[in-house]
């Protein structure tokens, strides 16, 4: 357990609204290894925010256990809270104060040395704009300032709930590289998102939830291969004959306009079979095995089915 930054077992949370019970999180076993970026993925309403809020003691779990760096929470949260930095809300700053002044006020409030302010501003790459008023910042800069605020206590675990919401591509890139940089300096970053593409490049490990349940988790590359063989796109003159031939091999073939898409085989297999039958492909291309596809497949699986997939 010591090498886990976060772990939950059998976590459950239901909300009652107007007499109805909404299961937000159900039997969730989440493991976030210490070090690296862990993406916490799931479509809207899948329980990511609820899980994060439970970890931070803001929302009370109905059932289950949670630990942060091996310390049970929320029971002993005060003992580890100093090691956790989190953004749970769109951050609020004093508009007419500089970024530095804002952080100095916060540092004072939480009893952190003011010297630390310069350090964290450098960490998020805001050093050169630190003395401008916050109202002149771009959305991405404000988000980075919020990240800097969480760094004031020099935490080991950073929890960001959809930190790129509302940012443009440049802003997303800024925040993304900031997170990657933190992980490279030995911190654990737990970042939630409903868009896989946003975190795919920087995540080391990930967990995917759908309707409150874990459907997959593990290192990103393992999950990629668990997604099954990538489909192969084939362009041939005689599509009907080729289709018949490839199906005969037990592969799945679909006709997509001018091309055939074969799944269950590698491009090498496809090429060999066609060549042996005297057919030549004018196009042969492996579709990239995209995590996005894995993600979509997984989150569409019936979450009530007992076989949650775990690639680990």
Ligand X SMILES: Nc1ncnc2c1ncn2[C@@H]1O[C@H](COP(=O)(O)OP(=O)(O)OP(=O)(O)O)[C@@H](O)[C@H]1O
Q: CA–CA distance from 161 to each of 87, 246, 297 (Å)?
A: 6, 46, 23
Among 101, 180, 194, 310, binds ligand X (CB under 6 A): 194
**Could you say whether residue 109 binds another protein (CB under 8 A)?**
yes
Q: Which does 92 bind (CB under 5 to 8 A by kind): Mg ion, another protein, ligand X, none?
A: another protein
Q: CA–CA distance from 69 to each of 66, 186, 201 (Å)?
A: 10, 14, 26
**Could you say whether residue 197 binds ligand X (CB under 6 A)?**
no
For the bound state, the minimum distance from the C-beta of residue 175 to another protein, rounded and expressed in Å, comes to 18
Q: Which does 42 bind (CB under 5 to 8 A by kind): another protein, ligand X, Mg ion, none?
A: ligand X
Q: CA–CA distance from 42 to each of 164, 195, 207, 266 (Å)?
A: 15, 8, 8, 30
Question: Contact 164/87 with Cβ under 8 angstroms?
Answer: no
**Could you say whether residue 22 binds ligand X (CB under 6 A)?**
yes
Q: CA–CA distance from 269 to each of 95, 117, 154, 226, 251 (Å)?
A: 62, 59, 53, 20, 11
Straight-line distance from the first to the last Cα atom of the chain, in angstroms, rounded to the nearest whole number:
16
**Could you say whether residue 278 binds another protein (CB under 8 A)?**
no
Q: Which does 81 bind (CB under 5 to 8 A by kind): Mg ion, another protein, ligand X, none?
A: another protein
CA 4 to chain centre: 17
Rounded (10°) CA dihedral 101, 106, 109, 112: -90
For the bound state, the minimum distance from the C-beta of residue 150 to another protein, rounded and expressed in Å, comes to 8
For the bound state, the minimum distance from the C-beta of residue 159 to ligand X, rounded and expressed in Å, comes to 13
Residues 52-91 that bind another protein (CB under 8 A): 53, 56-60, 74, 77-78, 81, 84, 86, 88-91
**Could you say whether residue 43 binds another protein (CB under 8 A)?**
no
Which residues are paired to 262 by β-bridges?
Answer: 232, 253
Residues 5-24 that bind Mg ion (CB under 5 A): none
d(CA 132, CA 258): 57
**Could you say whether residue 47 binds ligand X (CB under 6 A)?**
yes
61 or 281: whose CB is closer to another protein? 61
Identify the three-state secondary structure at position 10: strand
Binding site residues, ligand X, CB under 6 A: 15, 17, 22, 24, 42, 44-50, 162, 194
Binding site residues, Mg ion, CB under 5 A: 49
Binding site residues, another protein, CB under 8 A: 53, 56-60, 74, 77-78, 81, 84, 86, 88-92, 105, 109-111, 153
């Amino acid at each position: 357990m010591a090498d886990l930054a976060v772990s939950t077992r059998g976590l459950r949370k239901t909300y009652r609204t107007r007499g109805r019970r909404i299961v937000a999180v159900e039997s969730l076993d989440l493991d976030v290894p210490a070090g690296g970026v862990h993406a916490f993925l799931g479509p809207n309403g899948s329980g990511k925010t609820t899980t994060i809020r439970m970890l931070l003691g803001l929302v009370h779990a109905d059932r289950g256990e949670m630990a942060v760096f091996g310390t049970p929470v929320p029971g002993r949260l005060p003992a580890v809270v100093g090691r956790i930095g989190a953004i749970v809300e769109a951050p609020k700053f004093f508009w007419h104060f500089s970024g530095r002044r804002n952080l100095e006020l916060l540092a004072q409030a939480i009893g952190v040395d003011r010297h630390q302010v310069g350090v964290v501003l450098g960490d998020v790459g805001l050093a050169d704009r630190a003395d401008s008023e916050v109202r002149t910042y771009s959305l991405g800069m404000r988000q980075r300032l919020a990240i800097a605020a969480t760094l004031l206590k020099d935490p080991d675990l950073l929890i960001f709930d959809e930190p790129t919401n509302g940012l443009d591509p440049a802003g997303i890139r800024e925040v993304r590289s900031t997170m990657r940089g933190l992980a490279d300096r030995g911190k654990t970053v737990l970042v939630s998102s409903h868009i896989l593409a946003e975190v795919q490049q920087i995540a080391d490990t990930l967990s995917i939830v759908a309707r409150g349940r874990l459907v997959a988790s593990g290192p990103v590359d393992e999950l990629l291969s668990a997604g099954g063989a990538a489909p192969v796109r084939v362009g041939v003159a005689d599509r009907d004959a080729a289709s018949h031939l490839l199906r005969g091999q037990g592969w799945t073939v679909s006709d997509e306009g001018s091309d055939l898409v074969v799944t269950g085989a590698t491009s090498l297999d496809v090429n060999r079979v066609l060549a042996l039958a005297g057919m030549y492909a004018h196009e042969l291309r492996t579709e990239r095995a995209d995590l996005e596809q894995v993600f979509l497949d997984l989150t569409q699986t019936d979450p009530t089915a007992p076989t949650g997939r775990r690639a680990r």
